[in-house]
Amino acid sequence: FLFLLKIFIYCAVSILIHVYFVDYRKCAARLFRMAAEQGQTNVVSTGVEEPLDLIRLSLDERIYVKMRNDREVRGRLHAFDQHLNMILSQVEETVTTVELDEENFEEMHKQTKRQIPMLFVRGDAIILVAPPLRHT
């Protein structure tokens, strides 16, 4: 069951990343092309040329980071590098553990939360980064 759940989550995340990033770039490119055809030269650039630019636009904003070993963190992004190592502040870490109930053999999901003032996140532990929602 957990294996199928992990496959489902992986597929869902892959689709979301594809829709969010690829369609966003296509839409931005289409808008720039239309503006150029109409002779408008004062179009503001979105600033997203590559995936790390999306992280750059999230500097000094609260982000969601899904990590290995069923860990999630939410915090304010202060810095990152090309390996996706990050410095976050005002962090809330959530650790999910799965325990097996010995009486009826059901899985019990337990979440433990803690607050961390400042945190260094190693990039190879990161699975997904979700920037804040931007309303246009």
Beta bridge partners, 119, equal 88
CATH topology of domain 48-136: SH3 type barrels. (2.30.30)
DSSP single-letter state for residue 132: P
CA 54 to chain centre: 10
Residue that is written with structure tokens 């808008």 in the block = 31
DSSP character string of 28-83: HHHHHHHHHHTT---PPP---SSHHHHHHTTTTSEEEEEETTTEEEEEEEEEE-TT
What would the pLDDT profile of 54-112 be if each residue is shown by its tens digit?
A: 888 889 999 999 999 999 999 999 999 989 999 999 999 999 998 888 888 888 889 99
Element (H, E) at 7: helix 2-17
pLDDT, position 110: 92
Question: What is the separation of C-alpha 15 from the centre of its chain, rounded to a whole number of angstroms?
Answer: 13
Q: Tell me the β-bridge partners of 109.
A: 98
Residue 129: pLDDT over 70: yes
DSSP states along 70-118: TEEEEEEEEEE-TT--EEEEEEEEEEEEEEE-TTT--EEEEEEEEEEEE
pTM comes to 0.61
Q: Is the pLDDT of residue 44 over 50?
A: no
pLDDT value of position 34? 60
Domain ranges of the chain: 1-46, 48-136
Res. 53 pLDDT band, cuts 50 70 90:
confident
Six-digit token pair at 87?
């410095």
pLDDT of residue 28: 54
pLDDT the model gives residue 105: 82
Name every residue whose Cβ is closer than 8 Å to that of residue 59 and which is 6 or more positions away in sequence.
77, 78, 79, 80
